C-alpha cells in the first residue's frame, strides 16, 4: 500500500493551506477543522444510508469525504449528486466508467470515481477523512477496514465480520495507532456506553441481548418447513438479507460474542447471551460488586451511529424513548440445542484463529444457499459445523493469511452445499412418491 501513503502525502491539507486559499477566511478554516470528515464503506446499505441521515441532521458537524458504494449504481449516483464526495468507489471498473459519465453529464464536478477493492481502500484512507464507518457486509470490507486502521483513522465498526475473521490483527493495529475502534452494532455500542461507568478489570460479565428472531416460539420439529420468506420477517429490526437470516439462526448473536471478546479483550466465558424479545435493552454490563448497568433506547440504528460519530461527546437528538410506555420486559436463556449456531460460535471463539474465519465464511455460503433455495434452514448449522471442523485453528499473522483461510473454507462450504442440496432433492422426491 505504498501508493496510498504517497497519495496521503501528496494530498495532505494543512491549516495554512486552507487559510491561503482565495476567498478563505478564519471562520471557514476553523469550521473545516472542527468538523468530522466521514468516509463510508458500504454507503448504499442500511447502515450507510442511516449514517448519511445522521450527517444530514448535523450539517455543521459532519462532511462526507468519500464513499464506497458497491454494486448499487443508481444509489451511488444519487449519493454522489447529493453529497459530492471527493472520491466514490463502486464494485467494478465498468460501473465506475458509467458512473463517472453520468456524474459529468449531471454537472457534478470534483468527484473522482474509482473501483474494486483498491478503490475501497482509497476511500478508507483518503487524506481528508478522519472517521471511517465500516459497513460493508462480509469479508469484502476487511482489507479496506484494516487499511483505515493502519492509516490512523478512527473507525466506527458496523461490519462484525471484520472482527470475527481478523479481530486479533485489527485490534492489535488499532492499539499500535492509539486510535479507538468504536462499535456501531447496537449491542456493542451499548456495552461501550455502559463501560464508561467502570473499568474492564471491574467487569464480571457482559450480557448481549438477542431478540430471539422470528422462530423463538416455533417448535424445533417444525424447522424443516421454514421458508425464506418466513426467515426474512424479523420481529424488531429492518436489516439486509444475510444478517436477518443470521438473526433467525442466532448466528448473528454468535458473531457478536466473538466481536465482544475482541473489542473488549474478554474471554468467551465472560460474554453471555440473553434473549430479550422486546429489544429495548440493547446490552448490559455486570460488575464484580453486583451492580448491573444497562443501556436502552429506541430501536433506531441512527442512535448508535450518532454516538460513535460524536464520541466522546453526547449531542442532542430527537430519538427519545418514552420510558412511561414501558410495561413488560422479558428475559429468556437461549436454547442452544434449538439454535446450534450460537454454540458453534462459542466454540470457535474459544479456539480462535482459523476457526472464526471458517465460521464466518461457511455461514455466508450457507445463508446465501438457503436464500436461493439450494438448501433448507436446518442445513445451515450442519454445513457450518463441518466446515469449521475441517479448518485448523492456527494463529493467523496477516490479512493475506486470513483471506487464504477464508477462500478455502468457502470452497469446502460450497462442496457441502452441493451434498446437502442433493440430499434435499432426494428427500423431496421420496416425499412426492409417497
Are the beta carbons of 160 and 255 closer than 8 angstroms? Answer: yes
Res 192: pLDDT? 97
> What residues pair up with 211 in beta bridges, in sequence order?
none
- Show the CA angle centred on residue 295, arms to residues 63 and 64, nearest 5°: 10
Whether residue 26 is predicted with pLDDT greater than 70 in this model: the reply is no
Q: Which fold has domain 188-299+309-433?
A: Rna Polymerase Sigma Factor; Chain: A (1.10.1740)
Mean pLDDT, rounded, of the chain: 89
What pLDDT digit, counting tens, does each position of 408-433 carry? 999 999 999 999 876 654 444 333 33
Percent of the chain with pLDDT over 90: 79
**Confidence at 333, pLDDT banded by 50, 70, 90:** very high
Res 375: pLDDT? 96
d(C-alpha 272, C-alpha 284), whole Å: 10
Whether residue 276 is predicted with pLDDT greater than 70 in this model: the reply is yes
What pLDDT digit, counting tens, does each position of 114-137 carry? 999 999 999 999 999 999 999 998
* Closest by CA position to 205, among listed 292, 293, 299, 271: 271
Q: What contacts 388, CB < 8 A, 6 or more positions away?
A: 344, 347, 348, 355, 358, 359, 362
**Confidence at 50, pLDDT banded by 50, 70, 90:** very high
* Closest by CA position to 118, among listed 126, 110, 108: 126
> What residues pair up with 68 in beta bridges, in sequence order?
41, 89
Query: Which residue matches cell numbers 466454540?
Result: 347
Are the beta carbons of 172 and 149 closer than 8 angstroms? Answer: no
Which is more confident, 419 or 23? 419
Pairing of strands 281-287, 292-296: antiparallel
- Show the CA angle centred on residue 417, arms to residues 433 and 216, nearest 5°: 85
Write the DSSP string, 106-134.
TT--S-EEEEHHHHHHHHHT-TT--EEEE
Res 14: pLDDT? 41
**Confidence at 271, pLDDT banded by 50, 70, 90:** very high
- Residue extents of the structural domains in the chain: 2-183, 188-299+309-433
Res 426: pLDDT? 41
**Confidence at 235, pLDDT banded by 50, 70, 90:** confident
116 dihedral zone (left: phi>0; alpha: psi -120 to 50; beta) = left
What pLDDT digit, counting tens, does each position of 64-123 carry? 999 999 899 999 999 999 999 999 999 999 999 999 999 999 999 999 999 999 999 999
Whether residue 300 is predicted with pLDDT greater than 70 in this model: the reply is yes
d(C-alpha 75, C-alpha 300), whole Å: 22
Q: What contacts 66, CB < 8 A, 6 or more positions away?
A: 39, 40, 85, 86, 87, 88, 89, 122, 123, 124, 126, 128, 129
User: What is the distance, to the nearest Å, from the Cα of residue 210 to the centroid of all Cα atoms in its chain?
Assistant: 16
Are the beta carbons of 409 and 362 closer than 8 angstroms? Answer: yes
Percent of the chain with pLDDT over 70: 89
**Confidence at 236, pLDDT banded by 50, 70, 90:** confident
Res 30: pLDDT? 39
Among the ranges given (1-10, 127-136, 199-208), the one the predictor scored with the smallest mean pLDDT: 1-10
DSSP structural state of residue 167: H
> What residues pair up with 133 in beta bridges, in sequence order?
40, 156
β-sheet with 281-287: strand ranges across: 271-275, 203-210, 281-287, 292-296
Res 160: pLDDT? 86
Res 400: pLDDT? 93
Q: Reduced to 3 DSSP states, what percent helix, strand and coil does the chain have, rounded to the nearest 5?
A: 55, 15, 30
Res 138: pLDDT? 78
Which is more confident, 78 or 434? 78
d(C-alpha 359, C-alpha 385), whole Å: 8
Write the DSSP string, 205-218.
EEEEEE---TTTTS
d(C-alpha 113, C-alpha 87), whole Å: 6
**Confidence at 240, pLDDT banded by 50, 70, 90:** confident
What pLDDT digit, counting tens, does each position of 131-181 carry? 999 999 878 889 999 999 999 999 999 988 899 999 999 999 999 999 999
- Show the CA angle centred on residue 339, arms to residues 367 and 432, nearest 5°: 65
> What residues pair up with 285 in beta bridges, in sequence order?
206, 293
Pairing of strands 203-210, 154-157: unpaired
Q: What contacts 296, CB < 8 A, 6 or more positions away?
A: 190, 280, 281, 282, 321
d(C-alpha 45, C-alpha 234), whole Å: 17
Res 139: pLDDT? 84
Q: Is 398 helix (H, G, I), strand (E, B) or coil?
A: coil
Whether residue 221 is predicted with pLDDT greater than 90 in this model: the reply is yes
Res 239: pLDDT? 75
Res 394: pLDDT? 87
What pLDDT digit, counting tens, does each position of 363-397 carry? 999 999 999 999 999 999 999 999 999 999 988 99
Q: What is the CATH number of domain 2-183?
A: 3.40.50.720
Are the beta carbons of 117 and 104 closer than 8 angstroms? Answer: no
pTM to 2 decimal places = 0.85
Are the beta carbons of 330 and 212 closer than 8 angstroms? Answer: no
Are the beta carbons of 141 and 154 closer than 8 angstroms? Answer: no
* Closest by CA position to 139, among listed 95, 115, 113, 170: 170
Amino acid at each position: 500500500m505504498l501508493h496510498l501513503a504517497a497519495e496521503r502525502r501528496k494530498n495532505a491539507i494543512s491549516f495554512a493551506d486552507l487559510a491561503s486559499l482565495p476567498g478563505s477566511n478564519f471562520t471557514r478554516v476553523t469550521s473545516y477543522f472542527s468538523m468530522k470528515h466521514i468516509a463510508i464503506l458500504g454507503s448504499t446499505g442500511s447502515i450507510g444510508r442511516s449514517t448519511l441521515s445522521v450527517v444530514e441532521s448535523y450539517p455543521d458537524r459532519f462532511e462526507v469525504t468519500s464513499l464506497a458504494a458497491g454494486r448499487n449504481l443508481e444509489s451511488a449516483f444519487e449519493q454522489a449528486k447529493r453529497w459530492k464526495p471527493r472520491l466514490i468507489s463502486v464494485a467494478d471498473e465498468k460501473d465506475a466508467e458509467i458512473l463517472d459519465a453520468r456524474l459529468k453529464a449531471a454537472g457534478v464536478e470534483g468527484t473522482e470515481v474509482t473501483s474494486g477493492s483498491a478503490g475501497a481502500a482509497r476511500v478508507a484512507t483518503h487524506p481528508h477523512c478522519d472517521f471511517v464507518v465500516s459497513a460493508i457486509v462480509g469479508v469484502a470490507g476487511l482489507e479496506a477496514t484494516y487499511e483505515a486502521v493502519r492509516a490512523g483513522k478512527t473507525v466506527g465498526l458496523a461490519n462484525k465480520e471484520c472482527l470475527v475473521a481478523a479481530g486479533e490483527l485489527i485490534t492489535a493495529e488499532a492499539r499500535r495507532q492509539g486510535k479507538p475502534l468504536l462499535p456501531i452494532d447496537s449491542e456493542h455500542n451499548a456495552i461501550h456506553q455502559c463501560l464508561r461507568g467502570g473499568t474492564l478489570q471491574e467487569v464480571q460479565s457482559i450480557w448481549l441481548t438477542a431478540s430471539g428472531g422470528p422462530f423463538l416460539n416455533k417448535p424445533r420439529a417444525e424447522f424443516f418447513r421454514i421458508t425464506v420468506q418466513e426467515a426474512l420477517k424479523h420481529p424488531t429490526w429492518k436489516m439486509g438479507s444475510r444478517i436477518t437470516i443470521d438473526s433467525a439462526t442466532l448466528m448473528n448473536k454468535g458473531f457478536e460474542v466473538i466481536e465482544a471478546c475482541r473489542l473488549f479483550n474478554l474471554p468467551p466465558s465472560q460474554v453471555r447471551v440473553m434473549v430479550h424479545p422486546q429489544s429495548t435493552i440493547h446490552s448490559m454490563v455486570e460488575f464484580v460488586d453486583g451492580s448491573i448497568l444497562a443501556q436502552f433506547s429506541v430501536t433506531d440504528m441512527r442512535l448508535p451511529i450518532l454516538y460513535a460519530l460524536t464520541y466522546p461527546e453526547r449531542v442532542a437528538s430527537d430519538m427519545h424513548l418514552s420510558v412511561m410506555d414501558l410495561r413488560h420486559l422479558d428475559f429468556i436463556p437461549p436454547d442452544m440445542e434449538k439454535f446450534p449456531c450460537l454454540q458453534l460460535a462459542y466454540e470457535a471463539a474459544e479456539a480462535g484463529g482459523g476457526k472464526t474465519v471458517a465460521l464466518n465464511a461457511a455461514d455466508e455460503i450457507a445463508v446465501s444457499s438457503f436464500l436461493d433455495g439450494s438448501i433448507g434452514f436446518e442445513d445451515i448449522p450442519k454445513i457450518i459445523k463441518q466446515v469449521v471442523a475441517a479448518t485448523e485453528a492456527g494463529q493467523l499473522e496477516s490479512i493475506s493469511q486470513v483471506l487464504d483461510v477464508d477462500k478455502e473454507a468457502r470452497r469446502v462450504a460450497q462442496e457441502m452445499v452441493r451434498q446437502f442440496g442433493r440430499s434435499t432433492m432426494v428427500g423431496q422426491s421420496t416425499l412426492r412418491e409417497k
